[in-house]
Structures are given as structure tokens and as C-alpha cells.
Amino acid sequence: MGLFDWLKDQFIDVIEWLDDTHDTIIYRFDRHDNEIKYGAKLIVRPSQVAVFVNEGEIADILGPGTYELETKNLPILTDLQHWDHGFQSPFKAEVYFVSTKRFSDLKWGTKHPIIIKDPQLGPVRVRAFGTYEIRVKDPAKVIEEVAGTDGLFTVDEIDDRLSDLIVSKLPEVLAKSGISILELAKHYRELGERIREQLAPYFEEYGFSLEKLLIESVSLPKEVEQALDERSAMEIVGDKGEYLRYKTAKGIEKGGAASELVGLGAGMAAANQVFKATPPPIPDREEFYIARDKTPVGPLTKEQLLELVQNGELGRDDLVWREGMEEWKRAEEVLPDLFKKVPPPLP
């Protein structure tokens, strides 16, 4: 090889992207005035694609490999540049490298509590969070719909938008599942997959595929959790007689002093009073809905409906519905006893 050939090889134009980050989705290869030499070498590494953009229009997309940029490798750009009768060197084009690897451990979560109707607890406020994974499915669409001319587009710039999509579907999936929050933990994987399936088309609109979605926690407000803990404690205690006998036996087994046993006896007496004073559970109340200007209003209790009847705000012919009814019916048919407590209109 002569000196001239050696010098020529040293100045070969190389276009490549060595990604030393973990969150970059798109990187625009910087070049003065976007000029690329004829015969330049393009290196596209695994989990990358190179996208050529000509005057704002997506041209050729090249997958992993090493290319010598000629007309045969750039058919779309050749057509756009009208190179039918010769390749112009240098030519102008923007080169965007798009990462097609998985971006994992992305976080999603509710910024504020969301309300869902639990089959056991009724309407409750919950918070939820988890993780998800995405991958670029359509590089051209990601550039057109999301990144635009951003020369360094990272996951952080799209994370919030995708997280909001996940949260928007969460109440619907939880409500349709029919699973109580009390038993939700063992169904996290199943529910995560349901949400992923429903959201897949929305992610594809941005050029991404939703590879995985995990629910890590669904939590109730502290006051509700405290009430559930107290109810669980009462259920664990079960038969108060057995519980107190067990505590007495444990005290004797440990050789408790007389004062300790006296204290235990006092505690037993106090516990007995608590059990006696505990009222029975309140029965579930019936809830109704009434029609107002073709809009359901409710839920309302019988007491509230009686007050509306007495005030003349609910008539016998007004439509009423409650859970279990197939269709709306006249109030007098559903709740005849309410109208018996109200005198008929004066003649």
C-alpha cells in the first residue's frame, strides 16, 4: 500500500454511536452542516438502527451491520436526492441512531389517590405503583410522534406521559376484575398483564411496545388500614373464653407473680366488658338511584328518599333503580311504603 492510499484510509468518514448511557433512546450524529462523504462507513451496532432524515422527511432505516454508504444502500435517499445519474459527494442528511434495547425498571404510580369500588369495602381511595419495560418498535414513528428534532432524546422525556397512560387504565381493570383489595396481592401478576394488553395499542401510537408491566403495591388510606387491622385482630381473638384461658395458662407457665395474675384477672374482666359492650355489625343499607334530567343521582338511602318524598321532590311516577333491577321503575312500585307515610294530595 502506497503512502497516498494509507493517508486516504486514515480519513475515511466513520458514522457510529457508542452508547455509554442507560437511558438514551435517540442520538443524532453531529456533523458540520450535516455533510456526509461518498463511501462513508456507517457502523450500526446490535440493538441499534440508523435513521436517515432528508429535509425533514424520513428516508432509509438501516439495522445492525457495517455499511459503505452508496446508492445501493440508500434507495429512498437516492430517490429523494435524485441521484439516478450519479452520487453527489458530499451529500446532506441527518443521521439518527435509535436504541432498540429494552428500557426496564421504569416507574409508574398514582400521583393522587384514585377511587375504585371494591366488592367488599365499597368505594375506597387507593394508591398504587409499580414498574414497566418498553422497547422501540417503530423508530420512524418515535421520531415523528415523540422526539421530533431532539438530538438527544432520553427515557425521562417520555416516562411521565407513558406512566399517566398506565394509571388511567388502573381503575377500570381493578373494577372489572371483581377482586377485593384484601385479596389483591396474589393477583398482581395477572392484573399487570391485563393492563399491559389494554395499553399495548396506545404505546404503539408513539412507536413503542409495552414489554412488561408489574404492580408492586396497591395501598389503602391509613385510617382504612387501621380499621381493617382492628377487625382482623377481633377475628383472630375468636372465642374470648378460649383466648383468656390461653393467656392465663401462659402466665402460670412463665411463673408469673401473684400481682401479675391479679393484673391478668383485671384485664380479663375488662376484656369481658369490652366484648359485652361491642355492638353487632351494622347491616348493609340498601342504596337507590333516582333519575333527574336523564342523569342518575345517588346512591341514596331510604331515609334520604323519604325526605325527598315529604318535601315533594320525589313523586310516585319518578324513576328509581337499585342494584339487582334490570330496568328503571316507578318509585311507587319500588318503594310503596314510602308513599304510605305521606298523605295523598288534597282534592
CATH number at residue 177: 3.30.479.30
Residues 266 and 315 in one domain: no
Residue pair 133/212 in contact (Cβ under 8 Å)? The answer is yes
Residues 118 and 204 in one domain: yes
CA distance 323 to 286: 9
Residues 124 and 178 in one domain: yes
Name the grid cell of 108.
Answer: 409508574
Residue pair 108/186 in contact (Cβ under 8 Å)? The answer is no
The alpha carbon torsion through 286, 289, 290, 291 (nearest 10 deg) reads -160
* Number of domains, the chain: 4
Give residue 33's domain range: 3-99
Residues 206 and 119 in one domain: yes
Residue closest to 88 by CA, chosen among 105, 115, 69, 107: 69
pTM of this structure: 0.59
- 307-330: string of b/e by CB count within 10 Å (b at 16+)? ebbeeeebeeebbbbeeeeeeeee
The tens digit of pLDDT for each residue in 139-193 reads 999 999 999 889 999 999 999 999 999 998 888 888 888 888 888 889 999 999 9
Per-residue pLDDT averaged across 205-227, rounded?
A: 89
Confidence grade of residue 121 (pLDDT, cut at 50, 70, 90):
confident
Per-residue pLDDT averaged across 18-42, rounded?
A: 86
195: three-class secondary structure by DSSP: helix
Among 82, 99, 116, the domain boundary falls at 99
